[in-house]
Amino acid sequence: MNFLVIDGAQDKINFFSIFNNNSYHKTIKANKNNNEKLSMELFKFFDENSIKQSELKNIIVNQGPGKFSGIRSSIAVAKALSLTNKLYLYGFNSNDLKGTNYEHVINLC
């Protein structure tokens, strides 16, 4: 199953994807400028890993608790991708992720 995880709730912004049975991960430092450039960083992540938005099925975004601006930016980008590409959009709680990694976040949905 092809899916994307966007997590901007903490001190770092994480993108994680399972695409065509391969996993990809990118972490960038969260700051005001990066939150404003979140969509550009995400598209760069897609390009670097040859991920096609049209072939994704699900987007999963961290809804917190965490940093407000990172959560707000992540949800806005996730909603835009979901609407423009007709993808299923799911949310998860930061506390649900403890003790596991992004590869298993799809099981929370």
22 by Cβ neighbours in 10 Å (0-12 / 13-18 / 19+) ranks as: exposed
Average of per-residue pLDDT across 14-38:
88
Q: How confident is the model at residue 83 (pLDDT cuts 50, 70, 90)?
A: very high
Q: How far apart are the C-alpha atoms of 69 and 50, rounded to whole Å?
A: 28
Write the pLDDT tens digit of every residue in 33-79.
Answer: 666 789 999 999 999 999 999 999 999 999 999 999 899 999 999 99
Q: How far apart are the C-alpha atoms of 94 and 8, rounded to whole Å?
A: 10
Q: Which of 101, 18, 7, 13 is nearest to 62 (CA)?
A: 7
Q: What domains does the chain contain, in order, with CATH numbers?
A: 3-108 (3.30.420.40)
